[in-house]
Amino acid sequence: MEVLGIDIGGSGIKGAPVDVKKGVMLTERYRIPTPKSAKPEPVAKTVAKIAKYFNWDGPIGCGFPAVVRHGIIRTAANIHGNWIGTNAIDLFRKATNCPMNVINDADAAGLAEMTFGAGQGRRGVVLLVTIGTGLGTSLFTNGVLLPNTELGHIEIDCEDAELMASDAARKRDALSWEKWAKRLDTYLTRMESLIWPDLIILGGGVSKKFDNFMPYLTVQAEIVIAESLNEAGIIGAALAGKS
């Protein structure tokens, strides 16, 4: 079965058709910068452009950077506040004329990794952290997802964690890999003290630079890189779109 997976991020919206039985993208991903306003209508038009690019008329799954409950957007950390209360499923369905499902973007990445990647077959508590514009998290116990955890927004020293430890924070503060890794390690150590994961999977674009910061991490849990790297969001979104 083929599903178009679309990953909506703070800086870019990207998609590709996915074979959801094998967990592989069938083409190179197509990326469009996220509209500057990040309001509902411009984002919906961008999603429609991606569907049109692939001449798509089948099911679509979207990973979205917010809490998503039954298709309704409940938070807006890295998108416009107008999204809160918006039915994203209806909005994107109307824009594309395709069957649609919408899931939290980090949960989408987690589904991909637990189904086909680094978390496949792993029991116990697994935490995936996607590191990009923000810090996204997905949490699994014996393979079962606890949706919309939003653990990237816990406070550390009275500051939102993603404002200190995301890849955007690294770039904003012009940090060396070592200095940034110490911030990330502080965050992961806090996660370990709260939920005691057996495995931590790191994803997002910065995961490609794992060797630059891995030596500075001190958490006890096993740490691995998402096998799909920054494609996990697209593959997981497609998995969510198959139902």
What is the pLDDT, as a whole number, of residue 9? 86
Confidence grade of residue 231 (pLDDT, cut at 50, 70, 90): confident
Average pLDDT for 217-221 = 95
Amino acid sitting at position 88: A
- Number of Cα atoms under 13 Å in the Cβ half of residue 165: 30
Average pLDDT for 3-23 = 95
Average pLDDT for 120-128 = 96
CA-based nearest residue to 54, from 73, 32, 75: 32
H-helix or E-strand containing 19? strand 12-19
SS3 218: coil
pTM for the full model? Answer: 0.89
Residue 126 has pLDDT above 80, yes or no: yes
Average pLDDT for 196-218 = 92
What is the pLDDT, as a whole number, of residue 11? 83
CA of residue 9 relative to chain centroid, distance: 8
CA-based nearest residue to 72, from 97, 40, 108, 96: 40
Domains 2-107+232-241 and 121-226 share a fold: yes
SS3 183: helix
Beta strand 24-25 with 12-19 is antiparallel
The answer to whether 24 and 36 have CB atoms below 8 angstroms apart is no
Q: Which fold has domain 2-107+232-241?
A: Nucleotidyltransferase; domain 5 (3.30.420)
What is the pLDDT, as a whole number, of residue 228? 80
Amino acid sitting at position 146: L
Residue 6 has pLDDT above 90, yes or no: yes
Distance CA 228, CA 65 (A): 18
CATH 3.30.420.40 fits 121-226, yes or no: yes
Distance CA 192, CA 197 (A): 6
Confidence grade of residue 207 (pLDDT, cut at 50, 70, 90): confident
H-helix or E-strand containing 33? strand 30-33
What is the pLDDT, as a whole number, of residue 44? 98
H-helix or E-strand containing 30? strand 30-33
What is the pLDDT, as a whole number, of residue 15? 98
The answer to whether 68 and 148 have CB atoms below 8 angstroms apart is yes
Please give the structure tokens belonging to residue 174.
């012009």
Any idea where the domains of the chain sit in the sequence? Answer: 2-107+232-241, 121-226
The pLDDT tens digits for 64-79 are 999 999 999 999 877 8
Distance CA 213, CA 196 (A): 22
The answer to whether 100 and 89 have CB atoms below 8 angstroms apart is yes
CA-based nearest residue to 102, from 197, 13, 222: 13
CA dihedral 69, 190, 230, 239 (to 10 degrees): -30
What is the pLDDT, as a whole number, of residue 204? 82
- Average pLDDT of the residues of the chain: 94
